[in-house]
Amino acid sequence: MALLPILRYPDPRLAKVAAPVEKVDDGIRTLARNMAETMYEAPGIGLAATQVNVHKQVIVIDVSETKDDLLVLINPQITHRDGLQVGEEGCLSVPGIYDKVERAEHVTVRFLDMDGQPRTLEADGLLAVCIQHELDHLQGKVFVDYLSQLKQGRIKAKLAKQARITA
């Protein structure tokens, strides 16, 4: 397994829409395992392939306290959403930045598992937020896209300053 470099906002590659996975094969399974290792190391609770510059519809999520409940969703699609929740979100591609985002409280998602088998999952709370957040990445959206232009400008400036300091 290998750690993958995570793209940082406002990298234009984060805006690229991911293509569906044609076949769940060893290459996709290796990608998912490497993404999981990268997510756990970061540390985070979700990671989309887009964030590691692979533009395929693959996401990994683990919202468990013990970090032993990995969920891999390939070609995920939300088929139902209801309710409303507003919560503070962060992102491995936007390190150190957190802000409130409005999301559905409950979602139903259809996806393929690591064996290429179709699955359906109903989620609420943090898992529902994480699924929606990661699916946004596959559509080329980052959570800061939901914020005002003023906040987006401030975030870009802050991240640019952080990059200069660590360079």
**What is the distance between the alpha carbons of residues 149 and 112, in angstroms, rounded to a whole number?**
36
What value does the CA radius of gyration of the chain take, rounded to a whole number of Å? 15
Task: Give Dmax over CA atoms of the chain in angstroms.
Answer: 46
Which burial class, exposed, middle or buried, applies to 99 when counting CB atoms under 10 A from its CB (0-12, 13-18, 19+)? middle
- Annotated catalytic residue within 41, 88, 122, 134: 134
* Residue 123 C-beta-side C-alpha neighbours within 13 Å: 23
Tokens at 46, concatenated: 């979700």
Residue in the structure block whose two tokens are 């984060």: 14
122: annotated active-site residue = no
The catalytic residues are 134
